């Protein structure tokens, strides 16, 4: 019974993580890709690549804004900002 519970828990966590990554990708597509490019390697407005940026740096830039980029603190939840920062860090 313990093995069954453990397997169900692992499967549930994996599905939750996959859903969170999908949400982060969707949020990136709607809030970031227009300027930073769909792959984070630079776009029409933000020429410098952000793909692979350190998670802490991405979090600060998203929350507080940077250059012409608006601050999203108060517009996005802390969880959304953290998810976006992880997503940007994971872009290759």
> What is the tens place of the pLDDT at every residue in 13-45?
444 444 456 689 999 999 999 999 999 999 888
> What is the tens place of the pLDDT at every residue in 65-86?
999 999 999 999 999 999 999 9
**What pTM does this model have?**
0.76
14: domain CATH number is: 1.10.760.10
**Which residue range(s) make up the domain with 55?**
2-90
CB-based contacts of 84: which residues, under 8 Å, 6+ apart?
24, 27, 28, 31, 32, 58, 62, 76
| Number of structural domains found in the chain | 1
Residue-level pLDDT at 21: 62
């Amino acid at each position: 019974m313990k093995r069954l519970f453990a397997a169900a828990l692992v499967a549930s966590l994996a599905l939750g993580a996959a859903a969170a990554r999908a949400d982060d990708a969707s949020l990136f597509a709607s809030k970031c890709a227009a300027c930073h490019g769909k792959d984070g390697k630079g776009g029409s407005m933000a020429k410098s690549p952000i793909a692979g940026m350190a998670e802490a740096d991405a979090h600060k830039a998203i929350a507080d804004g940077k250059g012409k980029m608006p601050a999203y603190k108060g517009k996005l939840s802390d969880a959304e900002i953290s998810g976006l920062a992880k997503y940007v860090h994971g872009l290759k």
